[in-house]
């Protein structure tokens, strides 16, 4: 993977202040994310992680300060950015009356991406057979997450912004997610993950910034190398606490062996 | 823009096909309105036949409000509106797509109500093409303004009460024009009168469709 | 940080502005009083309508204010707000003030017209173009006010209201013309003459002119006062904003004797300068 060159930032925030009515979401954020970097945005609940991602996605405009995503203003230049940026938010943006496949198809086409990768993406996320024809209203929260993820996979944009991606997913889905992130970073995609489950995400990223009170208050390098996810990465940053991942069939015993290819986890 | 229009219209119509709200809830509501009007105007059939054009269009207006409310509420579940903004769909295409979808539903409802009016009120139509054209033009105007106002009030908790209040005065010209054209097209009317009103409808439609194309994007940002 | 330092509103603070407004207010009261005196006592009653004609010193005046001054101002200000180069919350507040005051004048128009109409034409209401447009305008104004009451950040509310005003501005001419056609094309309408302008000459003409001036002054004064209230409301909100910003920044900061939260607050800006 090409090392990030400082001059090409994927995301650049300078003293960003964002408001929702009278409530300050961000109170002056300074952040630079280089092309191809993977960054964890951590912090307690309500710190502003989600708002940070929404600002980068162009959903919230700044009251003051500057933001540039892939060199462009995310609010004004949304049309140009739409194919290149993907946001996985808390809500899945699904239409209850449409089936899974129709939802994915609409979302992918709306973002201007080709439809040829829809089926492989759905399969990858474990959405097959009858599930594809189920209306979205009948899905569980975890399944909705999977659908949203499959949209992301089908689009495969240059910049991924994931908001609490592990929330609501069962162990096998989490593993698939970790693989995906590993693949993406290996392939040069810039990944920004907001999560308060730092231990889960740390092995996947190269840097972690802490956000509290609407600002970036700390920064550190994490143990993960830029190599694809594997046992080496897991041991480098210490054993993953199992209570955080919440699944008995979870990480340590069934860590996927990856050598840069897609590993299929049963 | 046109590609996005088709995409959005297709999505909305597919949702309608699945959920059948317009067919199973709005249409009966329109019929009920026609029945209530009949009670209100009394058993004098001649009176009902004379009032039929106006009553038809009032019923159509009520159905428009319902259809628009539905069109807006589809987007408010699960943050779909955010999803639409994120996707970077051309706002003009989004506007046209939703307008087309609402218009399509309205056309079906109008056909149903027209049949109802003929049957229930004994209205006699002399010049059918005038009726059809007026309904087509009126529908476009209603759908366009409805979609615009729906966007303006989207995401507001008071939308259900606010939208009718905002929308109905604006579409008063459609009601006026539609009624006059229908009166001209009925037995005993002069068709020539009707064609003048068609011009008004065309102007109304042109203005609001153009306005929507230009303004829908910025409105989305306020949601 | 003292919120008072942040307010840059000439209309609130400059002494000359305050005096101007005060003078307008006094002029409004004086001219209205003068109009009343002239209208009720000095000018003669009409041959046909008798004393009823004295309503001409009220009705056309309020109608002019409501339909043209208030509405025109609200529409123009909304457009100026929407235009990126001239975007400023000043226009938004001006539009809102104009609409609110306009509602008052609109209601006065309808009531005074009604009072005039009953004895003169025999009906409380007539469906002609002007009356109907006035009524529709009233409803649109009320809709605008209803939309503004929905809680939202000032910029969002301003945009929403401005769009609504834009749609209304487009619609009113269409409504007016359609009702005009409606009446004229429809044979057999009762022959009402809404113009009903008695031949005005002499003292009546001057009084009429004075009434227009007086009512315009009243409108301007009410507009400025209402605008000020709008500024004060937003200003109050932005003061709270500074406090909120500081509080939020302090949220995650560990107890630190240096208290670095305040430095960040010093740099924290206030959105969209208050004018």
**DSSP letter for each residue of C124-141:** S----HHHHHHHHHHHHH
Taking residues B184-213, report their average pLDDT. 84
Q: Of C240, C249, C261, which has the smallest distance from its Cβ to A22's Cβ?
A: C240
Domain segments of chain C as ranges:
10-186+201-232
CA A245 to chain centre: 17
Please report the pLDDT score of residue A244 as a whole number: 39
Of A183, A166, A1, A151, residue with least CA distance to A85: A151
* Cβ-Cβ contacts under 8 Å, A110 against chain B: 4, 7-8, 83-84, 87-89
- A196 in reach of chain B (CB within 8 A): no
pLDDT above 70 (res A242) = no
ipTM of this predicted structure: 0.82
CA C242 distance to own-chain centroid? 31
Return the partners of chain A (3 or more C-beta pairs < 8 Å): B, C
Look at residue A73 and tell me whether its pLDDT is greater than 90.
Answer: no
Using CA atoms, how far apart are residues C159 and B219, in angstroms rounded to an integer? 8
User: Does the structural domain C10-186+201-232 have CATH classification 1.20.120?
Assistant: yes
| Chain C residues 215-244 within an 8 A CB cutoff of chain A | 237, 240-241, 244
Residue keyed to tokens 């990126």? C84
Beta carbons of B79 and A58 less than 8 Å apart = no
Test C244 with A20 for CB contact under 8 angstroms. Answer: no
Would you state the structure tokens that stand for residue C211, as one six-digit string?
């009434």
The two structure tokens encoding residue C14: 């400059």
pTM equals 0.77
B124 in Cβ contact with B193 (< 8 Å): no
Q: CA of A16, closest CA in chain C: separation in Å?
A: 9
- CA neighbor of A161 nearest in space, from A2, A10, A47, A30: A10
Residue pairs spanning A and B at CB distance below 8 A = 74
Most confident of A250-264, B40-54, B63-77, B183-197: B63-77
Per-residue pLDDT, averaged over B74-82, amounts to 79
Strand, coil or helix: B24: helix
Looking at residue B91, its pLDDT comes to: 87
Chain C residues close to B203, C-beta within 8 Å: 174
Q: Is the CB of residue B84 less than 8 Å from the CB of residue A106? A: no
The pLDDT of residue A205: 85
Comparing alpha-carbon positions, the chain C residue that sits nearest to A212 is C252
Residue C171 C-alpha, separation from nearest chain B C-alpha, in angstroms: 6
Q: Inspect the interface and report whether the beta carbons of A21 and C151 lie closer than 8 Å.
A: yes
Number of CB atoms found within 10 A of residue B53's CB? 26
pLDDT over 50 (residue A148): yes
> Encoding tokens for residue C95?
């539009």
Judged by phi (left if over 0) then psi (alpha if -120 to 50, else beta), residue C121 lies in alpha
Residue A40 has pLDDT above 60, yes or no: yes
Q: For the packed helices C89-121 and C71-82, what is the interaxial angle rounded to 10 degrees?
A: 160
Q: What is the pLDDT of residue C95?
A: 93
Tens-digit pLDDT profile for residues A152-206: 888 888 899 999 888 888 888 888 888 888 888 888 888 999 988 888 888 888 8
Which residues in chain B are closer than 8 Å to C182, comparing Cβ atoms?
A: 176, 180
Strand pairing report for A64-69 and A23-34: unpaired
Q: Can you list the residues of chain C whose pLDDT is less than 50? A: 1-7, 186-194, 196-197, 254-275
Tell me, yes or no, if A19 comes closer than 8 A to chain C by beta carbon: yes
What's the pLDDT at A113?
Answer: 78
Contacts with B, A 161-180, CB within 8 Å: none
DSSP, residue by residue, A5-60: PTTSEEEEEEEEEEEETTEEEEEEEEEEEETT-EEEEE-STTSSHHHHHHHHHTSS
Does pLDDT of A223 surpass 70?
no
Binding-site residues on chain B for chain A (CB distance < 8 A): 4, 7-8, 11, 14-15, 18-19, 74, 77-80, 82-90, 221
């Amino acid at each position: 993977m090409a090392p990030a060159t400082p001059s090409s930032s994927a995301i650049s925030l300078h003293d960003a202040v964002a408001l929702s009515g009278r409530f300050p979401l961000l109170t002056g954020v300074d952040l630079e994310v280089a092309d191809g970097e993977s960054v964890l945005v951590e912090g307690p609940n309500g710190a502003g992680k989600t708002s940070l991602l929404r600002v980068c996605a162009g959903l919230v405009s700044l009251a003051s300060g500057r933001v540039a995503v892939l060199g462009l203003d995310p609010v004004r230049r949304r049309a140009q950015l739409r194919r290149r940026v993907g946001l996985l938010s808390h809500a899945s943006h699904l239409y209850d009356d449409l089936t899974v496949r129709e939802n994915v198809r609409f979302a992918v086409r709306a973002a201007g991406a080709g439809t040829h990768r829809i089926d492989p993406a759905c399969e990858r996320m474990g959405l097959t057979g009858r599930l594809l024809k189920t209306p979205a209203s009948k899905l569980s929260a975890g399944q909705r997450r999977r659908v949203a993820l499959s949209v992301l996979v089908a689009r495969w944009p240059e910049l991924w912004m994931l908001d609490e991606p592990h929330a609501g997913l069962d162990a096998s889905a989490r593993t698939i997610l970790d693989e995906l992130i590993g693949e993406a970073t290996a392939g040069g995609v810039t990944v920004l993950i907001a999560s308060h489950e730092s231990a889960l995400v740390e092995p996947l990223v190269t840097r972690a910034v802490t956000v509290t009170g609407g600002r970036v208050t700390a920064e550190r390098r994490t143990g993960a190398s830029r190599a694809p996810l594997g046992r080496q990465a897991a041991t480098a940053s210490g054993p993953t606490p199992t209570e955080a991942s919440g699944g008995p069939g979870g990480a340590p015993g069934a860590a996927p062996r990856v050598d840069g290819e897609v590993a299929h986890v049963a | 823009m046109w590609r996005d229009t088709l995409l959005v219209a297709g999505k909305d119509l597919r949702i309608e096909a699945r959920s059948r709200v317009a067919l199973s809830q709005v249409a009966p509501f329109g019929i009920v309105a026609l029945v209530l009007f009949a009670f209100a105007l009394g058993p004098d059939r001649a009176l009902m036949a004379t009032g039929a054009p106006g009553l038809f269009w009032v019923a159509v207006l009520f159905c428009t409000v319902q259809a628009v409310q539905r069109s807006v509420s589809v987007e408010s579940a699960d943050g779909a509106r955010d999803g639409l903004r994120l996707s970077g769909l051309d706002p003009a295409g989004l506007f046209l797509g939703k307008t087309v979808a609402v218009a399509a539903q309205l056309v079906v409802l109008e056909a149903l109500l027209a049949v109802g009016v003929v049957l229930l009120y004994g209205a006699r139509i002399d010049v059918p093409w005038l009726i059809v054209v007026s309904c087509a033009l009126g529908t476009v105007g209603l759908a366009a303004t409805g979609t615009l106002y729906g966007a303006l009030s989207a995401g507001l908790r008071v939308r259900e009460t606010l939208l009718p209040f905002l929308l109905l005065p604006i579409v008063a010209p459609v009601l006026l024009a539609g009624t006059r054209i229908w009166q001209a097209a009925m037995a005993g009317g002069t068709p020539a009168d009707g064609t003048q009103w068609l011009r008004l409808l065309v102007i109304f439609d042109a203005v609001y469709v153009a306005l929507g194309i230009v303004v829908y994007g910025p409105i989305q940002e306020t949601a | 940080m003292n919120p008072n330092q942040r307010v840059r509103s000439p209309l609130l603070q400059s002494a000359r502005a305050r005096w101007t407004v005060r003078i307008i207010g006094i002029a409004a009261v004086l001219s209205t009083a003068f109009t009343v005196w002239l209208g009720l006592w000095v000018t003669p009653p009409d041959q046909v309508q008798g004393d009823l004609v004295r309503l001409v010193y009220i009705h056309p005046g309020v109608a002019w204010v409501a339909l043209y001054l208030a509405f025109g101002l609200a529409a123009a200000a909304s457009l100026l707000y929407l235009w990126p180069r001239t975007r400023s919350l000043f226009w938004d507040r001006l539009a809102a003030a104009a609409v609110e005051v306009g509602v008052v004048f609109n209601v006065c128009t309808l009531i005074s017209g009604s009072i005039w109409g009953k004895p003169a034409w025999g009906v409380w209401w007539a469906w002609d173009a002007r009356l109907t447009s006035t009524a529709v305008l009233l409803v649109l104004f009320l809709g605008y006010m209803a939309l503004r009451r929905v809680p939202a950040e000032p910029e969002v509310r301003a945009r929403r209201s401005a769009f609504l005003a834009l749609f209304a501005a487009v619609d009113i001419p269409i409504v007016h013309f359609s009702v005009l056609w409606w009446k004229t094309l429809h044979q057999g309408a009762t022959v009402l003459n809404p113009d009903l302008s008695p031949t005005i000459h002499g003292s009546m003409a001057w009084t009429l002119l004075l009434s227009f001036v007086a009512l315009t002054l009243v409108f301007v004064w009410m507009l400025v006062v209402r605008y000020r209230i709008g500024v004060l409301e937003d200003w109050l909100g932005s003061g709270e904003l500074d406090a909120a910003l500081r509080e939020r920044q302090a949220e995650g900061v560990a107890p630190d004797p240096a208290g670095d939260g305040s430095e960040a607050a010093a740099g924290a800006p206030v959105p969209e300068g208050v004018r």
